[in-house]
Structure 1
Amino acid sequence: MRTIAKPTALWHLLLLLLLAGMGQARAQAAGTTDVILRTDGSEVPGRVLTISPLALTYLPPAGTDTLRLATADVFLVRYANGTREVLHPAPATDESLASDLLPGLSDAQRRTKGRQDAARSYTSGGPFWGSLAATLYGGPFLGVMAPAIMAPHAITAANLKAPYPGLLADPAYGHAYREEAQHRKRGRAWGGYSVGAGLWIALLGSLVAGNL
C-alpha cells in the first residue's frame, strides 16, 4: 500500500506568508510617530502632544522627556494617521493666485512629474497583503473577489502619500499622480492574488501527486 506524502512544507509556507501579511498590516496600523516639518526644511520625528501659539511640545521616538519647539519655527505637522496640520502656510504670490503651482512646466512635464512622484511615494503594501491573505484563506475562486473589489476603488487622499499635497490641486499633475498610484495599487492587489493562487495550485499538485 502506497503512503500519501503530506505536504507539510507547503502548509508551513502558506502559514508563514499569512502571518507575514498580518504582521505587515499590524505594523502599518501601529505607527504612532508624527513628523514635524520645520520652516528650515528639516524634519523632526516624535509624538506631538500640544500646539499653542508660542510652542509645540512633543515626545521623541526613543525618549520620555517632553521637548519643545517654537511654533514660529514649525511649518507643518504630518501626523501618523496621514493627516497634516499647516501652522505657517506659505504666503500667497501672484503665481499661486493664478493657480500656477508648477511655474515654467508644460502640461506634459507636469504629468511626467506627477507619475514620477507617485512611483516614488505611493508605497502601500496593503493591497498585496490583503489579496494574498484573502486568497490563502478562501482559495483562488473566492480569493479573486479581494483584488476585484480593491483594485478599482479610488485611493483616499491620505493614502496617496503625495510628497507635496498642494500640487495635487494642479489638474495635470494631480491626474497623473492619482492615475499612476491607482495603477500601482491594481498591480499589487492582483500580484497578491497571483502569489496566493500559485501556492494553492502547488499545494493541490502535491496532493494529486501524493495520491498517484
Structure 2
Amino acid sequence: MKQTLLTLLVFLFSVATLAAQDIIMKRTGEKLEAKVLEISPTEIKYKQYDRLEGPTYILPKSEVAVIQYANNTSEAFALEDTTPPASVASKPALSEMITEASSGTSNLAIYAKGQSDATAFYDGYQAAGTGTLVSSLVNPLFGLIPAVACSVTTPKKHNLDAPNHELLEQPDYVSGYRKQARKIKSGKVWKNWGIGLGVNILLAVILVTQ
C-alpha cells in the first residue's frame, strides 16, 4: 500500500511540474525548453529541461528575444546596437512595414511576424487549459467537451495579446498570429486533457489492484 501511494505521489508531482519549464525564444525563432539559472548583463545560463542533471549552457543575451517563465511571466530583451550609425543596415520601421504590407510587397513578412509574436506573447490559452484539466480530472469524458470546443475555436482578436496593436490592423499579421495562437491553445488544451486522463487511469489501476 505504501509503495502504491508513493507511486501515486510521484506521478502527481510529475504532472504538477510537467508545465513548470522556462521557454527561451531566440531571435532566430528557435525555442528552447529550459530551466533558467542566471541572467547576467551579457549572457544567460540555463539547463536543458529534459536534462536538469546535465551540463549548464551559456547563451549570449544578444541572441535571446524573450524568456517565458514557468510562472507565466515573460521577459523581453532589447537588442543593443553596438555598430557605428554610419555602417548600420537598419531594419524597416514599423510604419514602413505597414506601408509595404498595404502595397502587397511584404505580406509574407507581416504574416511571419504575426506567427513569431504569437509564439512569444500569446497566453490566452490559460483559462481553456485550466478548465479542461479540472473537468478531465473529474471525468475524462467531461473533459472532452471543453477540449474539443477550445481546440477548434480560433482566438478572438481582443484576446491575442499582441505586443503592438497597430499591427492588429493588418489582416496578414492577424491571420498569422491567430493561426499560431490556435495551434498553441490546442496543444495546451489536449496536453491538459491527457494529464487528466492519465491520472484517472492510474487511480483506476490502483483501485483494481487493491
TM-score, scaled relative to structure 2: 0.51
1:100 aligns with 2:86: no
- Amino acid of the structure 2 residue aligned with 1:135: S
- Amino acid of the structure 2 residue aligned with 1:183: K
CA RMSD of aligned residues (A): 3.4
Moved over 3 A (4+): 4-15, 101-105
Contact 1:130 1:192 in 2 (8 A): no
What is residue 178 of structure 1 aligned with on the other side? 178
What is residue 143 of structure 2 aligned with on the other side? 143
What is residue 130 of structure 1 aligned with on the other side? 131
The 5 Å alignment of 1:32-181 reads 100=99, 106-124=106-124, 125-137=126-138, 139-181=139-181
Q: How far off its partner does 1:140 sit?
A: 1.5
- Amino acid of the structure 2 residue aligned with 1:129: T
Q: Counterparts of 1:7 and 1:136 in 2: how far apart (Å)?
A: 19
Q: Counterparts of 1:135 and 1:209 in 2: how far apart (Å)?
A: 23
Q: Counterparts of 1:132 and 1:183 in 2: how far apart (Å)?
A: 18
Contact 1:14 1:136 in 2 (8 A): no
Q: Say if 1:101 and 1:158 are closer, same or farther in 2 by CA, change over 3 A.
A: farther
SS at match of 1:100: helix
Q: Counterparts of 1:153 and 1:174 in 2: how far apart (Å)?
A: 15
Q: Say if 1:201 and 1:134 are closer, same or farther in 2 by CA, change over 3 A.
A: same
Identical pairs, percent: 27
Once the two structures are superposed, residues 144-178 of structure 1 have per-residue CA deviations (whole angstroms, 9 ceiling, x without a partner) of 11211222223233321000122122121110011
Q: Counterparts of 1:184 and 1:143 in 2: how far apart (Å)?
A: 18
SS at match of 2:166: helix
Q: Counterparts of 1:170 and 1:208 in 2: how far apart (Å)?
A: 57
Q: Say if 1:176 and 1:122 are closer, same or farther in 2 by CA, change over 3 A.
A: same
- Computing the radius of gyration from Cα coordinates, the structure with the larger value is 1
Q: How far off its partner does 1:6 sit?
A: 9.8
Which segment drifts farther, 125-134 or 191-200? 125-134
In the alignment, structure 2 segments of 5+ residues that lack a partner are: 17-93
TM-score, scaled relative to structure 1: 0.51
Q: How far off its partner does 1:102 sit?
A: 5.4
* Structure with more contact order per residue of length (Cα contacts < 8 Å, sep ≥ 6): 1
1:199 aligns with 2:199: yes
